[in-house]
Amino acid sequence: MSALLPITLSGGAVQRRGKRLIGPIDLTIDGSGVTAVIGPNGAGKSTLLKALHGLERLSEGTITWNCGRAEALFRQAFVFQTPVMLRRSVLENLAFPLRLNRRPRAEARALAAEWCARIGLAGMEARAAMVLSGGEKQKLALARALITAPELLFLDEPSASLDGRATREIEALLTLATQGGTRIVMATHDMGQARRLAREVVFLRGGEVHEIAPASRFFDAPETEAARAFLAGDIVD
């Protein structure tokens, strides 16, 4: 049984400088696997993820977890579209969240070294994270989020601007994470990626949830005209 899930957003809305970015939205995240949040540019995908994670304050509505807020924040992680690198070595980037969780230094560094090998950065432990390639930074950011075994992981465009090889490596890490019990909510423009990974699809349009369905049903037979147009590559605003 999950200590964190379900997450329930009830009438959630985010407003900034008088402009409503999302809402009102009613949404529940539960179960296992990957939820792909898709929709046209400006639909509010990133804002929704940040609101669910707690990075974006709701202007209306409520969000509830299966546990207290402090514990909920402890049990989840977020990876941004542009990876955030600490001005430290690769190894120290990976060890950082473990040290925040009061893991002994030697234990944290040993586990960080294991993850370096797991993500293909063995031999690069002492390299400055800031000089890595885009794909390497994305893998490092993902590994840094996964190293604490979060129950829930939010990903904002995890493969944006990456080549095919780097995308495959990222998706392999995500598949292993879900097999290990991590629930993933992922915003993506890559419909191939959504088809490959998602169990569930949330289609946003104009800051509101336009359609929610199991991935197989959504991609084979979307219920709304807007979703059908979006999947066909038409312009949907």
Q: What is the pLDDT of residue 95?
A: 97
Q: Which domains does the chain have, with CATH numbers?
A: 7-83+141-231 (3.40.50.300), 86-131 (no CATH)
* pLDDT computed for residue 161 by the predictor: 78
Nearest CA to 214 among 9, 35, 29?
35
Q: Which pLDDT belongs to residue 1?
A: 57
pTM: 0.95
Crossing angle of helices 105-118/134-146, nearest 10°? 130
How many C-beta atoms surround the C-beta of residue 58 within 10 A?
A: 19
CB 158 within 8 A of CB 170: yes
How far CA 119 is from CA of 94, 115, 143, in Å, comes to: 11, 6, 7
* Contact present, 174 and 182 (Cβ < 8 Å): no
Q: Would you say 9 and 60 are in contact if contact means Cβ atoms under 8 Å apart?
A: no
> In a 10 Å sphere around its CB, with 0-12 CB exposed, 13-18 middle and 19+ buried, how is residue 55 labelled?
middle
Run means of pLDDT, 10 residues per run, the chain, 237 residues: 90 95 97 97 96 95 93 93 94 96 95 94 96 93 95 94 87 94 96 97 97 97 96 91
DSSP letter at 156 equals: E
Residue 24 preceded by cis peptide, ω within 30: yes
What is the model's pLDDT at position 4? 93
